[in-house]
Structure 1
Amino acid sequence: MDDWGLAFRAQKEINASVYDLWFNESWELDNTVTSTFPKACLDFVNYESCDRHFRSWILSKWENIKEVRLSLFKSNSEVVYVVFNGTGSTKLSWFTPARIIASPWSPKILDETLTVPSVKGSCDVTVCRRFLLYGPFKKCSVEWFYMFTLDNSYETCMVKGFWPIVGNVVKSYPMFFYSKTSGRASLASNKVYPYAESADVLAVWVKFA
């Protein structure tokens, strides 16, 4: 990853919102990193002790971005990544299927098949899903996605018992879910799509023009 600069790193299940920090321009940790900042929260191996997210100044000064790479890590290894065209983008607009340059999923992901594909995603009293590449919000038992981040302590599909592989209570958040196959995945036991996996770390990298 020598050509990439780390813009953001989020740790699973620390009960701190990913989206809130993404927008918190007063929190640029690479300008204030000291010896007390946990090394595990900057690493992608041996990160189990990490207790916070990392936000770079890059998010506040989003300029001259050529490409953006979103990576998910599990058990000290990168398990999925998506590369986006960052030219002319903002810290929100880069995350759209139309900008995808490379991903493990095929065929091409289309906007019209998804629900609000975006960093912001969908967040209300019933669900809070960010970094959203997710199909129609129709019925929990048949919903599918490529990836999303569960970003608060309530998720209606879990509470109602439709996602048995992750339980029916959000014990801690965020949670990062992704398809480990070349297509769609689900958390429901509907046998239509393979089960999704959960990751430990979400990272956003940029390559400058």
Structure 2
Amino acid sequence: MRIHIMIIVIELLILNYIVCGVTAKGDWELVFHALSGKGENVMKTWQTKFKKECDILNLNSCPCSVKDGCLPLSYRWETAKDQCPKILRSIKVDFWECLNIQKVKVELISKEKTVAFVEFDGKGSTYMNWFHKSRVQKSSWPDMRKGGRFNFFSLNKEARHGRHFFISKLYHGCPGDSGWFVVMDASGSKPCRWEKQNSYPQFLYSKDGKVIKWQNMKYGRAEVLNIYIKRA
């Protein structure tokens, strides 16, 4: 019995290493990369699992093409961003719960500089529940605290309007809607002027370091959305 348990533990350790590639312990690993205005649905892509047959014990050999929207294990967007026509999603997302994830980070980038970010506690999370107010550890918005007031802090609970990865403080009619960040996908109705964009997706965020009223139209539009994980 004890030998059997040891074999299982060793297999899980090997699986964790193979799934995660050769990234050094404690490094941020890019698992999702999206550009604004490219016409793809960010939330749908995040939820869509890898379709091609893959050997779970040898993910490095899995067929993974940037042209197909697959994020290679060793991909670095900083050096390959000009070759990225699609939203890219890593196979690691499909094995989220076996990766011993400690932290998750959402980062917004414009002109190759970070303009906003939120770091989350990733321990014991799934790929659909890590984005939650109770998990916030650090943020570029000082007034956004995990014990604060939010009417939405969710990946997809406001899908009726295509408002995903949505961090909202208050609804008070369109002029009074206030928040910090939203991925605005093309799907869903768009009842408010602030969410009607010329192209989608758009990564809208407060540039003031604090909550804003969206209808004032003084939000920023980030060019890039990246999601990272950090393992133990």
**TM-score, scaled relative to structure 1:** 0.80
Does residue 13 (structure 1) correspond to residue 37 (structure 2)? The answer is yes
Cα offset, 1:49, TM superposition: 6.5
Contact 1:44–1:77 (8 Å) recurs in 2: no
The residue aligned with 1:171 is 198
Quick one: which amino acid aligns to residue 74 of structure 1? S
Q: C-alpha separation between the residues in 1 aligned to 2:116 and 2:79? A: 15
Q: 1:157 to 1:42 in 2, by over 3 A?
A: farther
- The higher radius of gyration belongs to 2
Q: 1:203 to 1:155 in 2, by over 3 A?
A: same
Q: How does 1:52-91 map to 2 (within 5 A)?
A: 52-63=86-97, 64-91=100-127
Contact 1:114–1:135 (8 Å) recurs in 2: yes
SS in 2 for 1:60: helix
The residue aligned with 1:99 is 135
Per-residue CA deviation, residues 37-88 of structure 1 (Å, 9 max, x unaligned), is 799x952478467421000012110031100010001112111111100001
Quick one: which amino acid aligns to residue 174 of structure 1? P
Contact 2:166–2:183 (8 Å) recurs in 1: yes
Quick one: which amino acid aligns to residue 69 of structure 1? K
SS in 2 for 1:52: coil
Q: C-alpha separation between the residues in 1 aligned to 2:85 and 2:66? A: 15
The answer for unaligned runs of 5 or more in structure 2 is 1-22, 53-59
RMSD after superposition: 2.9
Q: How does 1:42-57 map to 2 (within 5 A)?
A: 43-44=77-78, 47=81, 50-57=84-91
Q: 1:46 to 1:195 in 2, by over 3 A?
A: farther
The residue aligned with 1:195 is 218
Q: C-alpha separation between the residues in 2 aligned to 1:80 and 1:45? A: 21
The residue aligned with 1:206 is 229
**TM-score, scaled relative to structure 2:** 0.73
Does residue 180 (structure 1) correspond to residue 207 (structure 2)? The answer is yes
Does residue 116 (structure 1) correspond to residue 143 (structure 2)? The answer is no
More helix, by proportion: 2
The answer for unaligned runs of 5 or more in structure 1 is none
Cα offset, 1:23, TM superposition: 1.0
The residue aligned with 1:25 is 49
Size of the aligned set, in residue pairs, is 194
